[in-house]
Structure 1
């Protein structure tokens, strides 16, 4: 795999199950080691150094947090782990109408509320790189719209964002670039406009479907 992610842009990491999306994200997060080659972050080789991870925010699809902690206690715990203050995004908390829920134990919260707290934690330290794994899963339409606006606002600030999602229609208003992985390799990487032009399709969803059909035909 030879791939560069453009800074200050929103990139979708797409592909069928087993294509290598999760492994790719784990490599960036330092949760897996590459079998070969070199991983660069901001132009510098990682080489087992974990300091760069402090510059990354991560929102997993399913967050596992201690059930006895409140949202406010969880934020404090994450700050302690990072040894950093990490100001809470009050605007995002307010837009999510989350304030009344922050003093309730996690075990009492709905899946959607947990996901909102998960989103707040992902932007806690103003990360240079934000990795979002199915970020709108479990969010209602209003909360989903709120978080999309947050992603676009971060892009305006020059932040870089990687998104994985199976709901490709949600990506139309968000992403600048698409990386399509297949069998651990890069089948396509480039701007959305190039993807649509290459496949002669008008949406990301249809363009990706065309890539998958072409790949199946090549393998036949």
Structure 2
């Protein structure tokens, strides 16, 4: 599904990715974890073609992404910060995205699921962070792409909306989709992911299940396992 070989990326003198290799098979939920500055966002943006690596190869759905923008139509992406035009109404934004990406009625189900009906005629600039995030989720899940990338999807969500998001992610997984998630919320990651990918200093430090990580670090729970990696590498 996603194959990355020897990926390097520098911003000025700052080496963010240094020879990163990663292969993610089709189907399942993969959490991309790592401390701030480890290269998570750069990796995600490289897969999306928003960051051009200095060196290395990326393939999505069996095809190199170099000089190929078509593959992006096969990805649904939820950005960490949704910079919506503040003077646009919610329903106008949804219509605009449908005009750009293709028609669907799935938005109606998602609007109902996240109880967004009262906000449809409101301007995006007047919405709370949590309501904007629900709009963000509708825009991401209303299409039917094989690869879904969610960057900090739980941001600002109330407990009920968080439950609905988890159900939504599981339902997409059950359709055979591949879902990449970044999150700082370890309980969310532990509950939802099949495998984790832990990035440290621009390279993959660990890839596998949470139980494999606990065994590797000899820690009883997930949070202590993550803490032990960070402590060990900053000793």
What TM-score do you get using the length of structure 2 for normalisation? 0.87
2:24 is paired with a residue whose SS is: coil
Deviation, structure 1 residue 62:
1.4
Would the aligned equivalents of 1:111 and 1:138 in 2 still touch at CA under 8 Å? yes
Aligned match of 2:61 in 24, 30, 42? 42
Aligned to 2:52: 33
Structure 2 counterparts to residues 44-123 of structure 1, below 5 A: 44-82=63-101, 84-123=102-141
Would the aligned equivalents of 2:82 and 2:133 in 1 still touch at CA under 8 Å? yes
Q: Distance in 1 between matches of 2:122 and 2:154?
A: 22
1:62 is paired with a residue whose SS is: coil
> Which aligned runs of 4 or more in structure 1 are off by greater than 6 angstroms?
none
State the aligned residue count.
Answer: 216
More strand by share: 2
Higher relative contact order (CA 8 A, sep 6+): 1
Gaps (5+ residues) in structure 1? none
Aligned to 1:182: 200
Would the aligned equivalents of 2:107 and 2:139 in 1 still touch at CA under 8 Å? no
Q: Report whether the alignment pairs 1:9 with 2:9.
A: no
What TM-score do you get using the length of structure 1 for normalisation? 0.93
Gaps (5+ residues) in structure 2? 1-19
Aligned to 2:6: none
Aligned match of 1:124 in 142, 148, 164? 142
Deviations 1:74-95 (CA, angstroms, capped at 9, x unpaired): 011112222x113334333222
Q: Which moved more, 1:20-29 or 1:191-200?
A: 191-200
Q: Report whether the alignment pairs 1:216 with 2:234.
A: yes
Deviation, structure 1 residue 181:
0.4
Coordinate RMSD, CA, aligned: 1.3
